[in-house]
A and B are shown apart, each in its own frame.
Chain A
């Protein structure tokens, strides 16, 4: 078992629980903050700031067990470095931006990088979580084992809930060995040709682990055993591409993203999540050729001044949704509004798990 010999290692859960008990007694809402690098991702929260940064460190890591447990204030970079020492990784490639990004923020926002369609998302690698509830009790759901169906899966429910259901203090992840070989390719193909080729390849057991179309070319990553990567590379052809491309895409450092989500001089940045094989959408004011089609087309980035409702309607018509990253016009909600019945059960769940509305009220939707 590898022990945590890292920069920071501090259990602040008692202090966090105390703050929450006080907030509960007073009925004051809390704005949970990790690195606060993601404050733009969602609606603004009015609340007294509660930082997780002091609560950090890897509390358990057993590379043979493929399990790591991490306190929520731990910088994401620190976790990734510890895994890399043992040739392991978080397979979902969470986006990084600043050194301040925390593991808690990563789980609460639930965003995954280029490997997502092949490897799975953040929640797919969560095995368990410790969460402080509205009464200030630290509770444990799931665990540190690969399979567990005792009780409801509340740990995975926390992923993407943006801290509205409780304060995540610790998360256990399933980790995987880094692939034996990696090679990236650049193929000059039109969007249509790229979609066609991806559909064909997708039905074969090829070692593809990332596929993004932008600037008139399909960018492809092969990962797996050295033999199959070499064979696939020979078969597919194209030019070699620097593997660093994927980190730049993952962390939004490509020129396309350069203007930050808060740069008011630019149009809003939209993220479209669509079913595989969705053809180019008919969008006035937006040209699909100027977009990034990541996740083999299932995640599209677009920067344009669009009518939010029309865009969302177009996405929903094909079974997807659209998120506005900003700069966000006042009347635009960041997340796609939910159907009425679904909203009812969201409200019920929030009312049950956080009856006084202490945790990040209004972060996801105005209603809770």
Chain B
């Protein structure tokens, strides 16, 4: 089932005339950059999931909040859909433009407005890069904890919209745990503050609702994040295993020992080889799996914990355990993990990164399931994941230039996500639903639950103008999904080429 906007399944799209809308917007906001020529708009036709592309009707590049506000008021008045874009690193086609919509690019809002080391907060514009916050806080001995692997490029506004996670999140939480206040503009152009500088705010916890809402409820225009003191030390252990299942069980054993690592990541053989080949991180290329376990905090405690973890790993059957000797080696160990996606990408013309979360105890079973599916579909899958959180990133290797191979990759990806749901997990841990997983939402939720999501959306955007077609599928799409699923239940997967 195609994920691109399909009027039959996603509802009628407004029939708008580009020239008329462009003229209205130019008149209402003469000082704003508005792109309408095809060659100018090309760079914006996709996000990090580049196999899906749509040219927007117009691209708006505002510099001031006032322009954003006027743009929203005008689009609301004209009934023009608006898709907000941060840095465009999203991997679920959340910022995929609409042919009949305006793409609102927030990248020019890239100022750090305030770092308050005493209050341990940073107030920033949405286009600020994730890593730039930690860099700015560093002179004060502080940092911003959530660290998506894309942190050199992705924007904090996009992080809020996706509730982004990273290596540190097992111990330090996701974006939702580290953002204390956001300023937003509604589709009607109203300004609202959610959360506060205090530890709570009266009324509903709309701040929680907006985290991970994928640009569907409002445009995030300012963010206040918590900063944490940098841990005194961080040490990393790398354990090799000759069996993926043993590595999976070691993850549980570490937690069971009462230790919450600062990061606990796992990579399988294919990913290890790719990363080693690309970065030279010093990974054991003959291992079936490696675990990277980082312990951070006060030196004395970290040393105690390293000893405990070492003993746990030995007992779990690790064939080798290596502790990074210094910060340089530690950085090298992590460089392999942080670059694992592009590293795997070098092994194949294209790769498709999935993102599902499972209960940790199902790790071995799910990895086995993925390997079976990989064989059945005839596509290689490398596994890289946040093992401590049970958040998996299977990378499907394929070649988009080969007839039908994208469709096979999509079908395989869909099956992996449905496997996650079957073992009690979810179709997305951190990348979001966007357009990519719109069909699998029908597998995870019942029609009445989806109706409740739609009701929540309607409270903020009754005319469905903000990022329409993303995140929550229509009833028509789900009934088609269910029909196809039941029809294909007894068909061989190789024939799913449509």
Contact = CB atoms under 8 A, between A and B. Distances in A.
Interface string A103-134: 00000001000001100110110000000010
B453 to A, nearest CB: 5
B460 A149 contact: no
B456 A203 contact: no
Contacts of A203: 117-118, 120, 140-142, 229
A342 interface: yes
B191 A147 contact: no
Interface residues of B, number: 93
Contacts of B117: 203
Given A64-B256, A146-B357, A152-B453, A299 B120 contact: no
Contacts of B433: 149-151
Interface stretch (A51-59, A249-257, A273-281): A273-281
B197 interface: yes
A171 to B, nearest CB: 14
A321 to B, nearest CB: 5
Given A150-B427, A151-B433, A227-B300, A319 B360 contact: no
B260 A143 contact: no
Interface in B359-373: 359-361
A137 interface: yes
Interface in B186-208: 186, 190-193, 196-206, 208
A23 B5 CA distance: 40
Contact of A143 (B389, B424, B450): B424
Given A87-B258, A153-B163, A341-B191, A124 B204 contact: no
B190 A161 contact: no
- Chain B CB within 10 Å, residue with most, of A140, A151, A337: A151
B492 interface: no
A255 B301 CA distance: 37
A227 B304 CA distance: 8
Interface string B414-427: 00000000001111
Interface residues of A, number: 82
Interface in B416-444: 424-433, 437, 441, 444
Q: Which 6 A-B pairs have the closest CB atoms?
A: A225-B301, A227-B300, A156-B208, A147-B429, A228-B298, A275-B197
20 contacts: A63-B256, A64-B256, A87-B258, A124-B177, A144-B424, A146-B389, A146-B391, A147-B430, A149-B428, A151-B444, A152-B453, A156-B205, A160-B200, A177-B259, A224-B297, A225-B298, A227-B303, A352-B456, A353-B452, A364-B203
Given A151-B453, A152-B213, 10 more contacts: A64-B255, A121-B200, A143-B425, A147-B169, A148-B428, A205-B231, A205-B297, A224-B301, A228-B300, A320-B196
Interface of B: 117-120, 140-142, 162-163, 165, 169-170, 173-174, 176-177, 186, 190-193, 196-206, 208-209, 211-213, 217, 229-232, 252, 255-256, 258-260, 297-298, 300-301, 303-305, 357-361, 386, 388-391, 424-433, 437, 441, 444-446, 448-450, 452-453, 455-460, 471-472
Interface of A: 62-67, 87, 110, 116-117, 120-121, 123-124, 133, 135, 137, 139-141, 143-154, 156-157, 159-161, 165, 176-177, 180, 199, 202-207, 224-228, 231, 273-277, 295, 298-299, 319-321, 323, 335-339, 341-342, 345-346, 348-349, 351-353, 364-365
